[in-house]
C-alpha cells in the first residue's frame, strides 16, 4: 500500500467510480457471460476477466468477442447480453467500506459525484438498489453523456463542472488503470483501489494506492476523518464460515511458529470474493472444545506470494495438541489492517503477534464480546454452515 504523495491544496470534492470501486460487479459479469459462452460452445476463463476492468460496455463486449471468437458483431452481442445484465443489477453487492464511505461523505457535507463508464441509465438502475445512494451524489455522470469514456478525462471534467468546482479541488477514487489515467489527465488527485489482485505496481501514477475502501483515510486529503475506529479496530457487519479441520501445508507452525489454519478459497469463492483482503478478528468455535478468540488473514499473503486467495485463522489459545477432524466455526466481527509485505520473516512474525494482541484486547469490548454467544458458533445448522450455504474445508497449518 503506497502512501499518499504531498499535495498543495486541500480537497473539497470527491468523485467516485461505480463498478469495481463501490460495487462488486465481478460475480455478475461471470454469472452473465459464463452461461452465454457455454451456450456458444465456449468456456469462461476467469483469468481473462481483468481485461474488462475499466472499459466501456462497448469496449468490454469487443474484448469478449475477440478473446472467445464469438460469431457476432459488437452491436449484436450487446443487444443479447444487456437484458441479461439488467436483470442482475440489484444482485450486485456493495464492496466492503462502500456504504461507510458514502454515508461519511454525505454526513460531513462533502460534495460527491459518481462518474462511470457505464451508460447513465445503467448507473441509475444499479444505485437505485441501494438505499440512500442516489441522494448522496451531487452529480452523476454516465459514459454516454460525454464524448469519450475513461481513460479520457471527459467524465471527470464533466463531474467537476456539474459540481461547480475546479478539477484541482477534486479527489478521485478508482479501481481501474483507465480510471486512474483519466483522473490524472483531468488534473485531479487520485486514490487507486485496484480491483485486480497483485497489480499494485501498475498504479504508480496514482497519488495513493490502498487495499480497499476500508483503508481510506480522508484526513490525508484535508477531509473529515472517520470516527468509527476503536482501539485500532474497525467494526464490520459480522459474517460466518465453517468447516472441518484437516491437515494442510504446515507453514504456520513450522515457518511462523504460529498454528494457523488455511481455508482454500475455491471451496467458497463467492464468500471470499465479497470480502477484501486484510487482517480480521472474531470468535472461533470448536465442536468439542468451546469458543475462543481468533485473528485471521484473508488474501494472498504477499510475503509468501500465494497464488490463490486464502483464509488463515489463528486461534488465540494454546491447545497443546492437534484437533484435525473437528469442525471449526468462525464469526468475523472486525477489521484491523490491510495485508502487507514485510522485509523479513521476523518482521512478519512480529506483526502477526501484534495483530493477535490487538484482537485479544478488542474482543473484550462489549460490542465484540457479544458475538461470543452467537448460536452459530455452537450450532451452525441454525444459520447455515457458511455464508454461501456450502460446506468448506479448513487446512490446519
| DSSP result, 325-386 | TSEEEEEEEEEEE-----SSHHHHHHHHHHHHHHHHHHTTSHHHHGGGG-GGGT-GGGT-SS
Longest dimension (CA), the chain: 66
- The phi and psi torsions of 167 (rounded to 5 degrees) equal -55, -35
Tell which residue, 389, 387, 392, has the closest CA to residue 266: 392
CA distance 181 to 3: 18
Q: What span, in angstroms and rounded, lies between the C-alpha atoms of 43 and 57?
A: 21
Give the Cα separation of 184 and 190 in Å (integer): 7
Q: Is 304 exposed, middle or buried (0-12, 13-18, 19+ CB in 10 A)?
A: middle
Whether the CB-CB separation of 195 and 277 falls below 8 Å is answered with: no
For residues 19 and 118, is the Cβ–Cβ distance under 8 A?
yes
What is the pairing mode between strands 278-286 and 327-337?
A: antiparallel
Query: Sign (positive/negative) of CA torsion 181, 183, 187, 188?
Result: negative
Enter the C-alpha cell of residue 308.
Answer: 490463490
CA separation, residue 311 to residues 157, 209, 213 (Å): 41, 23, 20
181-to-56, 145, 207 alpha-carbon distances in Å = 14, 19, 11
Sign of CA dihedral 104, 110, 111, 117: negative
12/189 Cα distance (integer angstroms):
11
- Active-site amino acid positions: 17, 19, 312
CB count within 10 Å of CB 78 equals: 17
Of 132, 181, 130, 124, nearest in space to 24 by CA: 130
- Asked if 277 and 300 count as a contact pair (C-beta separation under 8 A), the reply is yes
Amino acid at each position: 500500500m503506497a502512501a499518499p504523495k504531498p499535495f498543495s491544496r486541500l480537497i473539497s470534492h470527491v468523485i467516485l467510480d461505480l463498478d469495481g470501486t463501490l460495487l462488486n460487479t465481478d460475480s455478475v459479469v461471470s454469472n452473465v457471460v459464463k452461461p452465454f459462452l457455454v451456450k456458444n460452445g465456449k468456456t469462461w476463463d476467469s483469468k481473462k476477466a481483468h481485461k474488462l476492468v475499466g472499459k466501456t460496455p462497448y469496449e468490454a463486449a469487443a474484448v469478449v468477442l475477440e478473446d472467445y471468437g464469438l460469431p457476432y458483431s459488437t452491436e449484436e452481442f450487446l443487444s443479447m447480453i444487456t437484458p441479461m445484465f439488467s436483470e442482475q443489477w440489484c444482485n450486485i453487492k456493495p464492496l466492503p467500506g462502500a456504504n461507510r464511505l458514502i454515508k461519511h461523505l454525505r454526513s460531513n457535507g462533502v460534495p460527491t459525484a459518481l462518474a462511470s463508464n457505464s451508460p447513465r441509465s445503467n448507473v441509475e438502475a444499479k444505485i437505485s438498489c441501494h438505499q440512500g445512494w442516489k441522494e448522496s451524489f451531487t452529480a452523476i455522470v454516465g459514459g454516454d453523456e460525454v464524448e469519450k469514456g475513461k481513460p479520457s478525462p471527459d467524465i471527470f471534467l464533466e463531474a467537476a463542472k456539474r459540481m461547480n468546482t475546479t478539477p484541482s479541488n477534486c479527489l478521485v477514487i478508482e479501481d481501474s488503470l483507465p480510471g486512474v489515467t483519466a483522473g490524472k489527465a483531468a488534473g485531479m488527485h487520485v486514490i487507486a483501489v485496484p480491483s485486480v489482485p497483485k497489480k499494485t505496481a501498475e498504479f504508480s501514477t496514482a497519488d495513493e494506492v490502498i487495499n480497499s475502501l476500508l483503508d481510506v483515510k480522508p484526513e490525508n486529503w484535508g477531509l473529515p476523518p472517520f470516527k468509527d475506529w476503536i482501539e485500532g479496530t474497525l467494526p464490520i457487519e459480522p459474517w460466518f464460515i465453517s468447516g472441518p479441520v484437516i491437515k494442510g501445508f504446515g507453514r504456520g507452525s513450522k515457518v511462523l511458529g504460529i498454528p494457523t489454519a488455511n481455508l482454500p478459497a475455491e471451496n467458497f469463492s463467492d464468500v471470499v470474493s465479497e470480502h477484501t483482503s486484510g487482517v480480521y478478528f472474531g470468535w472461533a468455535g470448536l465442536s468439542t472444545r468451546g469458543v475462543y478468540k481468533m485473528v485471521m488473514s484473508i488474501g494472498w499473503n504477499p510475503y509468501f506470494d500465494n497464488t490463490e486467495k486464502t483464509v488463515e485463522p489463528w486461534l488465540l489459545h494454546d491447545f497443546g495438541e492437534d484437533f484435525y477432524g473437528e469442525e471449526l466455526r468462525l464469526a468475523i466481527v472486525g477489521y484491523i489492517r490491510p495485508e502487507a509485505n514485510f522485509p523479513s520473516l521476523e518482521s512478519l512474525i512480529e506483526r502477526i503477534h501484534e495483530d493477535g494482541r490487538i484482537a485479544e484486547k478488542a474482543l473484550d469490548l462489549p460490542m465484540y464480546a457479544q458475538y461470543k454467544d452467537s448460536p452459530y458458533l455452537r450450532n451452525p445448522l441454525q444459520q447455515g454452515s457458511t455464508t454461501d450455504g456450502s460446506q468448506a474445508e479448513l487446512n490446519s497449518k
